[in-house]
Amino acid sequence: MSVNTPSFQAPECRGFYEHWQSLPKNGLAPTSETFLDAAHPVYAPSVYILEFSDSDIIIRLMGTALVERWKKDRTGECFLTTQDSEVKKVFVINSSQIVNIPCGLRATNQFLLSTGQRVSTEAIALPLTAAHGRPLRFVSYSHMFEKPADDEKVGGWEDVVDQEWINLGAGVPERFLVRQKK
């Protein structure tokens, strides 16, 4: 599905989207520098800035709430090291649409906790522009609906519950790729 106005479940995700929209643009998206210079203290702890590198995605910034959620600061690491190759392939293809078209993506995802319980997040991913010759980047903000206990670790990504492409003015992909269920 594609929309011009996303149907957010979490007011925090709507607020992040409105903040991103308020920033000066270089074309249809703010530059990485503009985004970082105008970091909003409410949203910054739950932000990733991700960068394309060959066939992988590197974490360039990981907010403090995400470090706490994942129990590790993964800045500088490959984003999908713990995921199987099918998940990685689908994520890279979908993410490349965000920076190449450019467009946005809103999704509700499920993750598995160390206890076997599932938790849901709403996430929004939006493009950032870069100087000529620099790797493509995008920013992702997420809100976790159920807070895990302090001793629970968030494990791997399980499923996409729903998603919608966000038309920022250049169109959207025809469809959202999903991994095949095993």
**pLDDT per residue as tens digits for the range 100-157:** 999 999 988 877 777 778 888 899 999 999 877 788 999 999 998 877 666 666 666 6
- Measure the CA–CA gap between 31 and 26, rounded to whole angstroms: 6
51 vs 28: CA distance, rounded Å: 18
The residue assigned the tokens 């959202």 is: 176
Cβ neighbours, 10 Å, residue 105? 24
Name, in order, each residue with C-beta under 8 angstroms of 39's C-beta and a sequence gap of 6 or more.
47
The yes-or-no verdict on residue 180 having pLDDT over 50 is no
Please measure the distance between the N-terminal and C-terminal CA atoms of the chain and give it in whole angstroms.
24
Which domains does the chain carry?
A: 2-166 (3.30.450.20)
Give the pLDDT band of residue 33 (cuts 50, 70, 90): very high
CA distance 97 to 101: 6
Q: How confident is the model at residue 46 (pLDDT cuts 50, 70, 90)?
A: very high
Return the higher-pLDDT residue of 76 and 55.
76
Q: Are 64 and 74 in contact (CB under 8 A)?
A: no
Backbone angles phi and psi of 36, in degrees to 5: -70, -35
For 166, list phi and psi in degrees, rounded to 5. Answer: -115, 120
Q: Which has the closest alpha carbon to 152: 123, 111, 110?
A: 111
